[in-house]
Amino acid sequence: MNQKLKIICIIGILVIFSSSFSSIGKAETDYEISFTEGTELIWEITELDLESFREIFGFDPNYELGDQIRMIIREINVLTVYWNILIEFWDYKTDWGLSGETIDILIANYPESYADYLFCLTPVEDYLEQAVAYLPSEYYRNGLSIFKQVKSDTGMDYLWEKKFDTRGILVIETYYDEFDQIIIKSEGKFQIIPFGITFIGFTILAIIAIIVVSIKKKNLRIKI
């Protein structure tokens, strides 16, 4: 009986030490990057009010309606306080056949250090909600979007919206004037299907089933 008690005590001590070391090794935040190296991203200017742009910002944009930018995620590294994302980037009107510009993007592990990032850590809604709690009153959140009320160099007000997908990738970026009319809108050409691969599989099977049934009915009519 004493031997069994000793074994139980030893196991208990090992479990406690194991939990302690796990807590020490674990990051203090549960936020993470949910996309992978090699991910290719393309955004396109889908709406542009050139007159409004000039009036609010005081200069001409370096892009036109339909122009695209491209980015490939080359490396993702976890640092103590930041995630470091190395990207290869092609700006508007550049040759995608040539090598892009190499850029480092840092994303703080902690929402209180949010700084208008191109990407967002996940879970997105929780990260943005926590970030808004620390940000100035010009910011607010709605679902997967974060909004910022801004005043341009010309003294005019505009609203900046950044909408992320569930991976934390910017999918839509929109600028509105004070009357909520769109000045600029860019959209990702990589948006994921919300129901995922399983949904696609079931859809394909359903289509095949419909075709098979139709063929059988047609053959049955011919025999009759």
User: Is pLDDT of 214 > 80?
Assistant: no
Distance, CA of 150 to CA of 183 (rounded, Å)? 13
Contacts of 92-99 with CB under 8 Å at 24 or more apart are 92/45, 92/62, 92/63, 92/67, 92/68, 93/62, 93/63, 93/67, 96/70
* Ranges 38-47, 119-128, 166-175, 182-191: which has the least confidence: 182-191
* 49 within domain boundaries: yes
* 17 within domain boundaries: no
Paired with 83 in beta bridges are 78, 107
Distance, CA of 19 to CA of 25 (rounded, Å)? 10
* 18 within domain boundaries: no
* 120 within domain boundaries: yes
* 109 within domain boundaries: yes
* 31 within domain boundaries: no
Average pLDDT over residues 90-110: 97
In tens, the pLDDT along 129-141 reads 999 999 999 999 9
What confidence tier does 145 reach under pLDDT thresholds 50, 70, 90?
Answer: very high
* 97 within domain boundaries: yes
User: Is pLDDT of 209 > 60?
Assistant: no
What confidence tier does 39 reach under pLDDT thresholds 50, 70, 90?
Answer: very high
Q: What is the pLDDT of residue 85?
A: 98
* 14 within domain boundaries: no
Helix (H, G, I), strand (E, B) or coil at 191: coil
Query: What rounded mean pLDDT belongs to the chain?
Result: 83
| Residue-number span of the structural domain to which 69 is assigned | 40-188
Q: Which tokens go with 16?
A: 């406690």
Q: What is the pLDDT of residue 207?
A: 56
User: Is pLDDT of 223 > 70?
Assistant: no
Q: What is the pLDDT of residue 190?
A: 85
Q: Percent of the chain at pLDDT above 90? A: 70
Distance, CA of 36 to CA of 86 (rounded, Å)? 12
User: Is pLDDT of 82 > 70?
Assistant: yes
What confidence tier does 202 reach under pLDDT thresholds 50, 70, 90?
Answer: very low
Q: pTM score, two decimals?
A: 0.73
Provide the terminal-to-terminal Cα distance of the chain, rounded to the nearest Å. Answer: 83
Distance, CA of 87 to CA of 69 (rounded, Å)? 13
User: Is pLDDT of 118 > 90?
Assistant: yes
Distance, CA of 66 to CA of 43 (rounded, Å)? 10
User: Is pLDDT of 10 > 90?
Assistant: no
User: Is pLDDT of 191 > 70?
Assistant: no
User: Is pLDDT of 109 > 50?
Assistant: yes
Count of domains forming the chain: 1
